[in-house]
Amino acid sequence: MTATEPDAVAVRSAVERLGDRVAGLRWADVPAEVRDRVLTVLVDALAVTALGAREPAQRALVEAWDAPAGPAPLFGTGREVAVDAAAWLNATASVRLELDDGHRLAGGHPAAHGFPAVLALAARHGVPGEDLCCALLTAYEVAARFGRATRLRPGTHPHGNWGVAGAAAGCARVLGLSAADTATAIDAGSGLPVAGPFAAALDGNPVRDHWMGMSNQSGLAAARLAASGSGHPTGVAAASLGDLLGSLDPAVLDPAVLDEGPGERWEILGGYFKQHSSCSFTHAAVDAALDLRDRVDGGVEEAGIEQVLVEVHSLGAQLDRTSWPTPLAAMFSLPFAVATALRRGRVVPADTSAQALADPVTADLARRVTVRASADLDARLPAERPARVTVTTAAGLLVAERPNPVGDAAHHPFTPEGRMRVLGDLLDAPEAVAELRSGCAALPTATDAGPALRALGSVLRP
C-alpha cells in the first residue's frame, strides 16, 4: 500500500491546521501543568547536553568541527558558536550518553529532535522568552505527533526522521512566521527525513548521533525555506514518512493523529526521563535486575550466578549482542546493561568508559545473559514496554518483572525535584543543576532570550 493523492491532501490539511495552532499559540494560554513540564524538559535537555559535552569523543568532535564564533552557546562548554554549528553539536552531545528524555508512544525523542535548533536560533534572533517557550513546546508537540502518526519500517532508527517536522515548527515560531508559512516549514521538515538503520546503533556507529544533528539543521533549513516565500505545503509526509519509511501495512502516515485533541492533548505530559545511560529498551530490564541484585543472598559476587534470562518485547529483543566495540554499542546491549546493573548497582556514563567496557568480569557475566522475545510481553505494547528477568543461582531462581521503566509517565514518573536529584548525581553538581533550573525558570520573563541562553551555556561548564 502506497501513499495516494487523497492521503497527501489529508496530511496537507492536517499540517495547515498545525501551522495555525503553532503560529497562534500564546504562553499565557498554555495550562500551568504544561508550562511546568516544558521547564522540566528544558532543564533535563540542557543538563544531559552538558554531560555529553564532557565526553572525550564530543570534545574531539567540537575541535574537529572548527566552528566559527557566533551567538549560540555550546551548553556545558562556555563557548559560543554559529547557529548551525550549535544546533548540530548540541544535538549530538544531548544523545551521546543515551540519557535524553523521550516519548514511548512517539517511539523516540521529540525534544532532542528540535530543542537544540530552537535554542540556537533564539540566541541569534533575540526573541522574547515567552516566544522561545512557545517554540520549544511546539517543537516537542509537533515532533511527538508526527512520531505517533508514523509507523517506521522494521529496522529503521527513529533519530532524524519524524522529528524533523517538530524542529521546523519550533524554528518557524522563533522566526515569527505566519500560519501559512509555518505550515510550509512543517511540511518541508517532514520531507527531509533520515533513513537510518537501527543496526548502526547496535554496531556502535556514532553516525547515529549525527542523525539528530541533521534533524536540527534540517529544521533550520525548512524554516528558512518557508521564510523565503519559495515553498508551499503538499502533504509530502504521506510519501516520505508514510510510504518510503513507513511500515508496509499500512504504509501511510495517519493524519488523524496530527489533528488529535488540539488544545486538550499535550504530548509533552506523556514523555519519560531516564536514569540509566542506555537505550530505553533496556531500562525495564535494568530496573528488574537492580531489584534482583538486592534480593541475592550474600551479594552478586558470592551468589554464583549461573544464567540470566531477559524476556522482553520484540522491539528490545534485537539488543542481544554480547560484544561492544564502542560505548554506543554497549548502551544498546541488554547483556551489557543487565550485567552492569547486577555487578555495579547502576548504569551511568562512567560504566561505559574504556576501562569499564574492557572489564572481563562484566563481559563474562554478560555472556551468561540470554535475551528472548516473549509473545505475552509483545501483547502489552505500546501501552507498556515490559521486561522480565530471571536469575539462576546455585540456590534457585529469582524473578522480577517491570511493566515500564521507572521515569515513564505511566510508571513511577519523576517529579521535577526527583529529576533534579538524578541530574545532580549524574553531573556530580547538584548546586549547578539548581542554578540551571533557576535560569530556565526565568526565561519566560526575559525580553531577549539571547543573553539568558548564553548565560545558561556556562552554568555546567566543567
* pLDDT tens per residue across span 331-380: 999 999 999 999 999 999 999 999 999 999 999 999 999 999 999 999 99
CA distance 305 to 120: 49
The pLDDT of 430-455, averaged and rounded, is 97
Q: Which residues pair with 82 in a beta bridge?
A: none
In the chain, what's the furthest Cα-to-Cα distance?
71
User: Would you state the cell numbers that stand for residue 11, as one nine-digit string?
Assistant: 496530511
Q: Which residues pair with 388 in a beta bridge?
A: 311, 401
CATH H-level, domain 5-274+432-456: superfamily: 2-methylcitrate dehydratase PrpD (1.10.4100.10)
Tens of pLDDT along 59-79?
999 999 999 999 999 999 999
Q: Answer for the pair 78, 458: CB distance below 8 angstroms, yes or no.
A: yes
Which distant-in-sequence residues (6+ apart) come within 8 Å of 357 by Cβ?
324, 327, 330
Q: How confident is the model at residue 2 (pLDDT cuts 50, 70, 90)?
A: low
Q: What is the pLDDT of residue 1?
A: 52
Q: Answer for the pair 215, 195: CB distance below 8 angstroms, yes or no.
A: no
* Domain boundaries, given as residue ranges, for the chain: 5-274+432-456, 280-402
The pLDDT of 77-88, averaged and rounded, is 97
- Write down the number of H helices and E strands in the chain: 23, 6
Whether the model pTM is above 0.95: yes
**5-274+432-456 and 280-402 agree in CATH topology:** no
Give the rounded percent of residues in the chain with a pLDDT score beyond 70.
Answer: 98
The pLDDT of 220-224, averaged and rounded, is 98
280-402: CATH architecture: 2-Layer Sandwich (3.30)
Q: Answer for the pair 235, 15: CB distance below 8 angstroms, yes or no.
A: yes
User: Regarding beta strands 307-312 and 369-373, do their DSSP bridges make them parallel or antiparallel, or are they unpaired?
Assistant: parallel
Q: What is the pLDDT of residue 192?
A: 98
